[in-house]
Amino acid sequence: MNSTSTSDVIGRRVEVNGEHATVRFSGLVPPVAGLWLGVEWDNPERGKHDGSHEGTVYFKCRHPTAGSFIRPHKVNFGVDFLTAIKNRYVLEDEPKEEETEQIVIIGNKPVETIGFDSVIKQQSQLSKLQDVSLRNCAVNGAGDKGGIAKACPNIRSIDLSKNLLSSWEEVIDIADQLKHLEVLNLSENKLTFPLSSPSPTGTFSTLKVLVLNRTGITWAEVLHCASGWPVLEKLYLESNNIVISERPTDVLQTVKLLDLSSNQLIDENQLFLIAYLPRLEQLILSDIGISSIHFPDAGIGCKTSMFPSLQYLVLNDNQIAQWSFMNELDKLQSLHALSCTRNPLTEGSKDAQTTRQFIIARIGQLRTLNKCAIEPEERRGAELDYRKAFGNEWKKAGGHQDPEKNRPNEEFLAAHPRYQALCLKYGAPEDGELKTQQPFLLKNQLLTLKIKYPNQHDQKVIEKQLPDSMTVQKVKGLLSRLLKVPVSELLLSYESPKMPGKEVELENDLQPLQFYSVENGDCLLVRW
């Protein structure tokens, strides 16, 4: 049992054949003789019972099959931090040089030493360490007092994920010896966080990044410990079954990134409790099951006072199915980047490009969507497409090209809060843009179009027959070959005798000509 006393093992974290568990019992289990340890496995499928044997309850488990009895000699209680560091980073497998005898003076007496060079070399290796990874190295605590500070005082970043740490006090004992610690990863350590003792001051005075994924921490424990994290900027709390129960007061005020992913009990009302963290720029809410959001302090076309600094929001793997969710996000005053993949709203549509366009059009200040930058040309195309797609609905609701008569009803404005702003930006949609396409008998009806070059006076006007299903991109490809001009330099628009003086840009390369209501006799305008 790695020389660990059986009287002090309850609550200790252990490893058995690669599986982690917590010791819940130590003692006799009649009728079998000898000492047994009762453990609760992290993986409940690894166990056999709930801590009971032949009608006697020896310990309790959260899951009915998470318990087992194991002989002590089969259990690994782990090693201290410094031992793990030496096992991982001291180059003991280097070819050994022939050990030489040295004379050193200790006090006034000369002392003969052998292997003194290797000791100095090991100390030098450890003292230079700044970024340390001890993931899954069975670390169980700090070890001898002061040993870490003496051996490796310059550590700034530690990955202690998936080890055998069992309490926040053990973490404090390690961190207290590392005065330059900035990054600490404690994921997958089942830790206890005492709420009774005050959070230490000074221990985490330089800590900027803290990862507590799958540690079992509660929101109350986060707030209690957070008073000891005065300069923390990034906090990761994934998969802890967290319920946000109270608003942070005088804590977490420096946090810029907060990850609450895979905490399925969080809802929109709980999110409002963290809505006034003054420096929160990135909020990760993947896989929390959220389906709706509403900022009650902001009406149509207004900005909310909540999340004032939020620039990047991650909502992947949720239950968002309504466009009203995107409308609400437009109320966030600083939101520039959004990730919302694998939601019913984004996955249910057959046309992913149209879904992307509509999200862009509904959130006016967005610069990045699903990690892809939104160029000015894409925004313009998305907003024009959106304006056209809902133009007839706008007219039926009371919309009008004449500003004096333009009074769409509240239902339309609630469903499309940015539509009026887009009409101001690009002009109200004309009747010619909104006419419904008539069904054609021929799949690819040919259009006879004139092609003009407004900026190239030496080019003659020509006529071409093009199918109305031909995309703008393919038209550009045809013209590129004809004119010997790169596709990327071509800009297309068209004018129609039915709309004199009106020029319609063909800004979306993926749309067919019929999408823009191009008809026989219309004129394509080509610029480069």
| Residue 99: pLDDT over 50 | no
330 or 123, higher pLDDT: 330
Secondary structure of the chain: what % helix, strand, coil (to 5)?
25, 20, 55
- Which CATH fold would you assign to the domain 79-91+115-207+231-252? 3.80.10
pLDDT of residue 123: 57
pLDDT at 124 over 70: no
pLDDT tens for each residue of 254-263: 999 999 999 9
CATH of domain 12-74: 2.30.30.190
pLDDT digit string (tens) for 196-240? 777 788 899 999 999 999 999 999 999 999 999 999 999 999 999
Place of tokens 């970024």: 131
Q: Is the pLDDT of residue 443 over 70?
A: no
Residue 84 backbone phi and psi in degrees, to 5: -65, -40
pLDDT digits (tens, 9 = 90+) for 141-195: 999 999 999 999 999 999 999 999 999 999 999 999 999 999 999 999 999 998 8
Helix (H) and strand (E) counts in the chain = 15, 26
Tokens of 275: 């809505």
Pairwise pLDDT comparison (435 vs 75), residue with the higher score: 75
- Residue of higher predicted confidence among 13 and 441: 13
Q: Has this prediction a pTM greater than 0.95?
A: no
Tally the residues of the chain. 528
pLDDT value for 497: 87
* Predicted local distance difference test score (pLDDT) of residue 439: 47
Residue 425 has pLDDT above 70, yes or no: yes
Q: What is the pLDDT of residue 468?
A: 85
Are residues 256 and 232 in contact, defined by beta-carbon separation less than 8 angstroms? no
For the chain, give every residue range classified as CATH 3.80.10: 79-91+115-207+231-252
Model pLDDT for residues 330-377, shown as the tens digit of each residue: 999 999 999 999 999 998 656 788 899 999 999 999 999 999 999 999
Q: What are 456-487's pLDDT values in tens digits?
A: 888 888 898 998 888 898 899 888 888 888 88
Task: Say if residues 378 and 358 touch (Cβ distance below 8 Å).
Answer: no
Identify the pLDDT of residue 470.
87
To the nearest whole number, what is the mean pLDDT of the chain? 88
Percent of the chain with pLDDT over 90: 65
Residues 6 or more apart whose CB falls under 8 angstroms from that of 145 comprise none
Q: In 10 A of CB 355, how many CB atoms? A: 19
- pLDDT at residue 414 is higher than 90: yes
The confidence band for 106, taking pLDDT boundaries of 50, 70 and 90, is: very low
User: Which tens digits make up the pLDDT trace of 290-315?
Assistant: 999 999 999 998 999 999 999 999 99
Q: Which comes out higher in pLDDT, residue 321 or 353?
A: 321
Total Cβ atoms within 10 A of residue 384:
22
The model's confidence at residue 436, banded by pLDDT at 50, 70 and 90, is low
The boundaries of every CATH 3.10.20.90 domain in the chain are: 446-527
Q: How many CB atoms lie within 10 A of CB 263?
A: 21
Q: How far is CA 367 from the centre of its chain?
A: 17
What pLDDT is stored for residue 441 in this prediction? 44
Give the Cα-Cα-Cα angle 97, 98, 100 (nearest 5 degrees).
Answer: 115
User: pLDDT at position 172, please?
Assistant: 96
446-527 maps to which CATH number? 3.10.20.90
Tell me where in the chain the CATH 2.30.30.190 domain(s) lie. 12-74
What confidence score (pLDDT) does residue 526 get?
93
CB 203 within 8 A of CB 228: yes
Q: What is the pLDDT of residues 498-514, one digit of tens each?
A: 888 889 999 888 888 88
The residue type found at 497 is P
